[in-house]
Each structure stands twice: as C-alpha cells, then as structure tokens.
Chain A
C-alpha cells in the first residue's frame, strides 16, 4: 500500500512536470499593460508615436523583404486603407499581440497551465506547464495564438511559443503600426513578478523568414486596485465601424448608414 502511494505521488508530480518544491507565485489581481500599444517602445519613431497614427513605425530587425512589406502597411495606414484585422470582431489578436493589449489582464497560475486572459478581444493564451512538448509537426497547424509550453524556473515562467499564423492570411498584425511577422515565428518568453505591483515579460522573438536577428521586447503590466472588475468585451455588440472592400474603416450614423463622404 505504501509503495502504491509512492508510485501514485510520483505519477502525480510527473503529470505536472518537473515541479520543484518552490510554491507557484501569486499573480492574482487585475493588471494593465504599461504604456501604449506600440509593440517595441524602444525603437518607435517618433519617440511618443502611437500605433495607428500615420507614419509611426518601429525598427524590428527585418529582412529587406519584410521591411518592404512593413513600409507598404505603413503607407496603407497613412492613406486610411490598412484596417486593424480585429475590426471584424471575429478573430483573436493572436500571439505575440496578445501580450500587447489595451484594457486589462488576468494571469491565472495553475499547476498544469498558466492562462493569460485579456479583457480586450477577449483573448486567451494557454501555456501548458504540465511537462508536455509542442505537438509533432504533423499535429501542429498554424493558429492565431499558436502553441505555448513552459516551465517554472523558481518564480519565473519560461515559455516557448510556435505555430502562429503570422501574416499568412493577412488577418494578424502585431500592432497598429502595421507590424507583421511570419508563420516561422519562435518566441521564448520569461515572465515574472519583479515587484508586488509589476509583472514583466521579456520576449525573444526569432523568425527565420521575417527577421535577420532575434528581436528582444520587454512588456510590463501594472497591478490595478483590488476592487477592479473585468467586463465583457463584446465587440459585435454595436460595431459602428465596418471596413469596406478597399480597406477603409467607415463610421456609421444612428441610422446605420455611413456618415463618411467617401464610401468605397
């Protein structure tokens, strides 16, 4: 019976990966990303530029081909015909944009998974920490958010993300400056609470198609007051900004018809 208990406990701990005796950290509460939704605030031009404003850009280590692609998107934004794909209210923001959302976050730490819950979207990133590996290539198909597996190194969650769609179907961007990455994206994220009020995610993005070298991004999330509530984000509830076939975002009046003078 004792031997059975030992075997049972061993199986239990194996099922949840190689967990140490260190307790999992407390990431409870409601959090908000620090700063605007520019993905790489260290290279944004102009320095206070906001994603979506005409001419704002970052400096990822793009290959020439993907730099040209980014410039085309930037020009589309300048002429008002590069809509945010999530305008349709039908698709997730995807990874890595899920780490770059407005509104608030919850980070749910469980023994077998960590869930990053974005109010906006809503978006969910599931990170498996039960010891599993990424699916075999024949079992892995590209999705918006990809596949994330991770483990704990003390109080730091280390996770690896692959299997994202990237820009292949033209319905995923990284931010509204027009940043895009390919379906070859491979990201390692190290995430920990650096003080009681701050969670930090250090991301290293490698993309054999789009990037010449690893792209290092740090995101921080600030804890909000304890009584903060998280609400529905029901994008289709009253979407008065449909997108035309040419990519122009319209503004609907109270009668449901565009107020815009140019509708194409």
Chain B
C-alpha cells in the first residue's frame, strides 16, 4: 500500500466475526485484517444489486484527484439496516473506513462512514 498523506492506516486488527456479509461473492480480494481511512467527495452511490458501490473522489498528496470504488453489502439487507439510496449524496464530503484491496489498488470494502455533521454509519469503533 502506498504511503499517502490522506491515507491513514489506523488499525490492523479487526474482529473477523463482525465482517460485513457479502451476499454475492467472498471478500478475498480485500484485506479484512486492515482498515484504512479515506476522506473525499462523493461522486455517487450506486444503489444496485448484488452490491452497492460508493464512488468517491479522493485528493492525493500532489493535489491530483483519484476516484475510489468502495463496495458494500446488498441494498436489500442494507435498507433493513436503515440505508437509503440518498444515504450518500453527490458532492458530500465524507470520511470512509474500508478494508483495502490486498494489492493496494483504488477500491475497498465498506466498514464505516463519518459525515460532515459528525454522524456515523456502520462500524466506527474502535477509534483510531
């Protein structure tokens, strides 16, 4: 994983029993023992089966903008946990915690989110 100013590795131990359910495929491409934090501007929430995707623009240390793809569970189960298609709004600034791709590429598995009004979604503990 590249060392970048906006990318903070804050926890290397995640209790496996609370990993999110993946209804369609195993999460083998993600390192579920690591959680990284990314902050950026929401491009869109793809509220689709079999998985939802949060597309988010993240500013790199050199000022360039990079698009990340954050995969979540299915919209059916997430809706029963309170998610809606409007949960992430285009243009909104959010901080996401994700299990990174094992190969360090620009995608991850959703763990939790913190919105600009300080509300959180998903798993936001343990604190970094």
Q: Which residues of A come within 8 Å of B, CB atoms? A: 36-37, 48-54, 77, 80, 83-84, 86-87, 89, 102-104, 119-120, 176, 224, 228, 230-235, 237-241, 249-254, 259-262
Q: Determine the residue in chain A with the shortest Cβ distance to B27.
A: A52
1/0 per residue, CB under 8 A from A, across B6-34: the answer is: 00000000001101011111111100100
Tell me the residues in window 51-98 of chain B with beta carbons closer than 8 Å to chain A beta carbons. Answer: 51, 53, 55, 67, 69, 71, 74-77, 79-80
A167 and B86 alpha carbons, distance in the complex (Å): 42
By the criterion CB–CB under 8 Å, are B25 and A120 in contact? no
A48 and B36 alpha carbons, distance in the complex (Å): 23
By the criterion CB–CB under 8 Å, are A89 and B101 in contact? no
By the criterion CB–CB under 8 Å, are B23 and A103 in contact? yes
Task: Determine the chain B residues whose CB is within 8 A of the CB of A240 once the complex forms.
Answer: 51, 53, 69, 71
Shortest distance between the CB of B41 and any CB in chain A (Å): 14
A-B contact pairs, 20 of them (CB 8 A): A48-B16, A49-B16, A52-B27, A52-B28, A77-B28, A80-B29, A80-B102, A89-B50, A231-B79, A234-B48, A240-B53, A240-B71, A241-B71, A253-B67, A254-B55, A254-B69, A259-B105, A261-B103, A261-B104, A262-B103
Task: Determine the chain B residues whose CB is within 8 A of the CB of A251 once the complex forms.
Answer: 29, 69, 71, 101, 105, 107
Task: Determine the chain B residues whose CB is within 8 A of the CB of A53 once the complex forms.
Answer: 16, 19, 26-27, 32
Q: Size class of B's contact patch?
A: 35 or more
Q: Determine the residue in chain A with the shortest Cβ distance to B50.
A: A235
The 8 closest A-B pairs by CB, nearest first: A52-B26, A238-B48, A48-B17, A261-B103, A259-B105, A231-B76, A234-B49, A80-B28
A234 and B53 alpha carbons, distance in the complex (Å): 15
Q: Which residues of B come within 8 Å of A, CB atoms? A: 16-17, 19, 21-29, 32, 43, 46, 48-51, 53, 55, 67, 69, 71, 74-77, 79-80, 101-107
Task: Determine the chain A residues whose CB is within 8 A of the CB of B75 once the complex forms.
Answer: 231
Shortest distance between the CB of B79 and any CB in chain A (Å): 7
By the criterion CB–CB under 8 Å, are A235 and B17 in contact? no
A42 and B46 alpha carbons, distance in the complex (Å): 37
Task: Determine the chain A residues whose CB is within 8 A of the CB of B67 once the complex forms.
Answer: 253-254
By the criterion CB–CB under 8 Å, are B28 and A253 in contact? no
Given A37-B21, A53-B32, A233-B50, A83 and B69 touching (CB < 8 A)? Answer: no
Shortest distance between the CB of A176 and any CB in chain B (Å): 5
A50 and B30 alpha carbons, distance in the complex (Å): 14
Q: Determine the residue in chain A with the shortest Cβ distance to B17.
A: A48
Shortest distance between the CB of B14 and any CB in chain A (Å): 11
By the criterion CB–CB under 8 Å, are B17 and A259 in contact? no
A176 and B28 alpha carbons, distance in the complex (Å): 11
Q: Determine the residue in chain B with the shortest Cβ distance to A240.
A: B53
Shortest distance between the CB of B36 and any CB in chain A (Å): 15
By the criterion CB–CB under 8 Å, are B24 and A50 in contact? no
Not counting A228-B80, A230-B76, A239-B24, a sample of 7 additional A-B residue pairs whose C-beta atoms are within 8 angstroms of each other reads A87-B25, A238-B48, A238-B49, A241-B24, A251-B71, A251-B105, A260-B101
